[in-house]
């Protein structure tokens, strides 16, 4: 039994007991995030739920579904858009946009991944948090897609025909979005990297959708996808933060999950068998007729590595990526640049899918350098394996990862959302989810074995790994025009095949859709979107306690907060003596500091020392308003560590 005094109305939770339809299967303390982790199953509907309860007031709710593509039509992506276009309780055509206007949310979005779709929200306001849960749960379980085919047409694709003499064209939010996305060479390369490694399972398909195949998706197939995958039995719900778990569970059960019965949902992913030999694939991306095609080729090498639920391995590979390709002293990046294979080198590690993969990417290269690229990669990795990686570089990389994990600073994303993404890597594979959050033991193991750990990773997952691919992505002038012409010809033939009655019907459908899009929601409909009253908003500002001291005439502020063992150190220098027309040079200085060699250290040595001794070092020129005189501001040169 665990007594949760602050998070459930003083409710006592016991293992294998049921609370508002949810049976508590496990509970334990997760020290790394200072939270109580609780795993529930909703007995009637089969929904899975994890509650991470701690003192964070930035509460997160998320519901995810396994959504397994069987083709390139982008059905999962189109459905993600469409569910947020009105529902049973909230019939507004754009409740998402209305919430943005009226909510105090700290996060509000939805996202499609190669094998899942996630709907997360976050808010510090209790009433707002329940409002957001209500809108999102109604959206995923009771969307208006069955009532209005126009939602599919608008968000997915449709034929548009203005009049009898006009050409038919394709329209649709996702169709146009993916057309733009797949004109980017790096997006095309990313798709090829994944497709090349998984020719026999779901990861060979583009979950976002390929514009060439999106128009093959029918309305009935779209609805069938929702019926199959958007069931509570296929759902994974997260509750994070200091909210009242008793109220949260009661709300989800009474308003939604109690209306469903448990069922079997086939959302299994077939594992790709390893290759006997690496594969090589060539393709093209579009450039304009006037653009110079020299040195515009992308080269990549890709390796399948383990499983997404192997959190120790994923931690190690992420650190190895920093060692090889991201650090200022990165030996693989240096080797590729020194060999003049390309002008830029970077790496990517996709560990969100069942079988993660690692990509080594060279930009601004040529197809003729492919063999040199392969040789340089393998020779460099072999040398690092045999001779060992620089000890300071390894220590710096591990320390940097430790700072990142302890800080849990994710560029403005709520922490609970990032923890949800981590949990799903194991949870959706029916593996132990909390292991993804227990990084301390992984770091301890890596530090203990640092003399050979990364060298062994290189041998096992790169040098002796045949489940790999090489991609050559060349520029091609006129490719975009070729595709546009092919699309025009296809649509021209479709129009020629239509009867007069079918053409008239298409014109009417076009008018009907545009009319629906242009008509504003009625006041009655808009009023159904939940809003906050002024009385619902806490007027108290968060106060950070500070202790002011003087050290050698310098003002020093000490702020004692929970920082997971990390000390943050900021220095502000008065820049007011600097004339306005010379501030640009101070900005330039901020850009250069920390990126150049010094009297004592090379740039690479300085980078290692920084990573070994601190989580980061930054320089900037900032301005701060004067609270007493709003027309005044103060210029400061800031050093942060």
CATH number at residue 625: 3.30.830.10
C-alpha–C-alpha distance, residues 436 and 596, integer Å:
37
Instruction: Tell whether 518 is covered by a domain.
Output: no
Average pLDDT on 266-292 reads 95
Q: Which residues are known catalytic residues? A: 80, 155
pLDDT classification of 520: cutoffs 50, 70, 90: very high
- 496, pLDDT greater than 80: yes
Instruction: Tell whether 453 is covered by a domain.
Output: yes
- 2, pLDDT greater than 60: no
Lowest mean pLDDT among 87-101, 140-154, 290-304, 447-461: 87-101
- 195, pLDDT greater than 70: yes
Mark whether 443 and 554 lie in a shared domain: no
Mark whether 441 and 333 lie in a shared domain: yes
Instruction: Tell whether 365 is covered by a domain.
Output: yes
- 3, pLDDT greater than 50: no
Average pLDDT on 267-278 reads 97
List, as one string, the DSSP characters of 386-411: HH---HHHHHHHHHHHHHHHHH---T
Range of the domain at 612: 547-640
- 577, pLDDT greater than 70: yes
Mark whether 434 and 308 lie in a shared domain: yes
Final residue in a domain of this structure, among 443, 458, 475 = 475
* Contacts of residue 195, Cβ cutoff 8 Å, sequence gap at least 6: 203, 204, 205, 206
Instruction: Tell whether 343 is covered by a domain.
Output: yes
Mark whether 466 and 582 lie in a shared domain: no
Q: What is the pLDDT of residue 615?
A: 66
Instruction: Tell whether 166 is covered by a domain.
Output: no
pLDDT classification of 589: cutoffs 50, 70, 90: confident
Residue scoring higher pLDDT (414 or 101): 414
What are the Cα distances from residue 159, in Å, to 179, 216, 283, 513? 16, 12, 29, 11
C-alpha–C-alpha distance, residues 483 and 436, integer Å:
43
Mark whether 348 and 443 lie in a shared domain: yes
Instruction: Tell whether 566 is covered by a domain.
Output: yes
Tokens of 195: 């497709």
Tens digit of pLDDT for each residue in 366-388?
Answer: 999 999 999 999 999 999 999 99
Residue scoring higher pLDDT (208 or 554): 208
Mark whether 593 and 447 lie in a shared domain: no
Final residue in a domain of this structure, among 475, 490, 510 = 475
* Measured torsion, CA atoms of residues 90, 96, 102, 108, in degrees rounded to the nearest 10: 130
Average pLDDT on 146-166 reads 96
> How much of the chain exceeds pLDDT 90, in percent?
76
Mark whether 441 and 335 lie in a shared domain: yes
- 590, pLDDT greater than 80: no
Mark whether 310 and 443 lie in a shared domain: yes
Helix (H, G, I), strand (E, B) or coil at 573: strand
Instruction: Tell whether 94 is covered by a domain.
Output: no
Mark whether 567 and 433 lie in a shared domain: no
Mark whether 470 and 556 lie in a shared domain: no
Mean pLDDT in the chain? 92
Tens digit of pLDDT for each residue in 237-269?
Answer: 999 999 999 999 999 999 999 999 999 999 999
Tens digit of pLDDT for each residue in 523-564?
Answer: 999 899 998 888 778 777 777 788 878 888 788 887 776 666
- 4, pLDDT greater than 50: no
Give the total number of structural domains in the chain.
Answer: 2
- 565, pLDDT greater than 90: no
Mark whether 298 and 386 lie in a shared domain: yes
DSSP code, position 599: S
Q: What is the pLDDT of residue 11?
A: 66
Instruction: Tell whether 371 is covered by a domain.
Output: yes
């Amino acid at each position: 039994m665990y007594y949760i005094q602050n998070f459930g109305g003083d409710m006592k939770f016991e293992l294998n007991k049921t609370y508002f339809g949810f049976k508590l299967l496990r509970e334990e303390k997760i020290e790394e995030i200072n939270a109580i982790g609780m795993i529930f199953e909703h007995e009637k509907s089969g929904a899975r739920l994890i509650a991470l309860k701690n003192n964070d007031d930035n509460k997160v709710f998320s519901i995810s579904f396994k959504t397994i593509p069987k083709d390139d039509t982008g059905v999962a992506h189109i459905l993600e858009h469409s569910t947020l276009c009105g529902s049973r309780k909230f019939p507004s055509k754009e409740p998402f946009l209305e919430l943005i206007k009226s909510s105090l949310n700290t996060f509000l979005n939805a996202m499609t991944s190669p094998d899942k779709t996630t709907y997360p929200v976050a808010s510090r306001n209790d009433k707002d948090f329940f409002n957001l849960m209500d809108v999102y749960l109604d959206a995923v379980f009771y969307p208006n897609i069955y009532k209005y085919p126009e939602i599919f047409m608008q968000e997915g694709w449709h034929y548009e025909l203005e009049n009898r003499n006009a050409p038919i064209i394709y329209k649709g939010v996702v169709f146009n979005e993916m057309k733009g996305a797949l004109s980017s060479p790096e997006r095309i390369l990313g798709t090829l990297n994944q497709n090349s490694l998984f020719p026999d399972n779901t990861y060979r398909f583009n979950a976002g959708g390929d514009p060439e195949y999106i128009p093959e998706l029918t309305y009935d197939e779209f609805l069938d996808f929702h019926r199959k995958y958007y069931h509570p039995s296929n759902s994974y719900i997260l509750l994070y933060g200091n909210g009242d778990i008793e109220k949260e569970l009661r709300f989800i059960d009474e308003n939604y999950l109690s209306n469903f019965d448990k069922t079997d949902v086939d959302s299994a992913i077939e594992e790709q068998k390893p290759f006997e030999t690496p594969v090589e694939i060539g393709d093209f991306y579009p450039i304009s007729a006037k653009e110079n095609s020299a040195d515009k080729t992308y080269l990549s090498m890709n390796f399948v590595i383990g499983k997404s639920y192997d959190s120790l391995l994923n931690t190690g590979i992420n650190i190895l990526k920093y060692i090889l390709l991201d650090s200022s002293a990165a030996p693989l990046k240096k080797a590729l640049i020194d060999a003049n294979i390309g002008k830029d080198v970077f790496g990517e590690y996709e560990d969100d899918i069942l079988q993660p993969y690692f990509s080594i990417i060279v930009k601004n290269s040529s197809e003729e350098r492919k063999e040199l690229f392969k040789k340089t990669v393998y020779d460099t990795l072999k040398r690092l394996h045999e001779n060992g990686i620089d000890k300071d570089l390894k220590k710096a990389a591990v320390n940097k990862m430790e700072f990142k994990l302890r800080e849990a600073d994710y560029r403005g994303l709520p922490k609970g959302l990032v923890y949800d993404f981590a949990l799903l890597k194991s949870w959706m594979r029916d593996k132990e989810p909390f292991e993804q959050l227990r990084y301390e033991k992984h770091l301890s193991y890596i530090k203990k074995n640092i003399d050979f750990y990364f060298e062994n990773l290189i041998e096992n997952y790169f040098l002796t790994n045949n489940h790999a691919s090489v991609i050559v992505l060349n520029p091609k002038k006129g490719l975009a025009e070729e595709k546009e012409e092919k699309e025009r010809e296809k649509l021209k033939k479709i129009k020629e095949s239509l009867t007069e009655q079918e053409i008239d019907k298409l014109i009417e459908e076009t008018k009907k859709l545009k009319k629906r899009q242009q008509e504003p929601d009625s006041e009655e409909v808009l009023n159904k979107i939940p809003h906050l009253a002024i009385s619902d908003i806490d007027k108290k500002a968060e106060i950070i306690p500070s202790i002011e001291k003087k050290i050698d005439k310098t003002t020093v502020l000490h702020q004692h907060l929970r920082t997971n063992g990390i000390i943050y150190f900021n220095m502000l220098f008065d820049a007011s003596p600097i004339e306005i027309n010379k501030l640009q040079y101070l900005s330039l200085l901020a850009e250069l500091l920390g990126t150049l060699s010094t009297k004592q250290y090379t740039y690479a040595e300085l980078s290692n020392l920084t990573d070994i001794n601190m989580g980061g070092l930054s320089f900037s020129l900032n301005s701060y308003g004067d609270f007493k005189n709003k027309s005044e501001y103060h210029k400061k040169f800031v050093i942060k560590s």
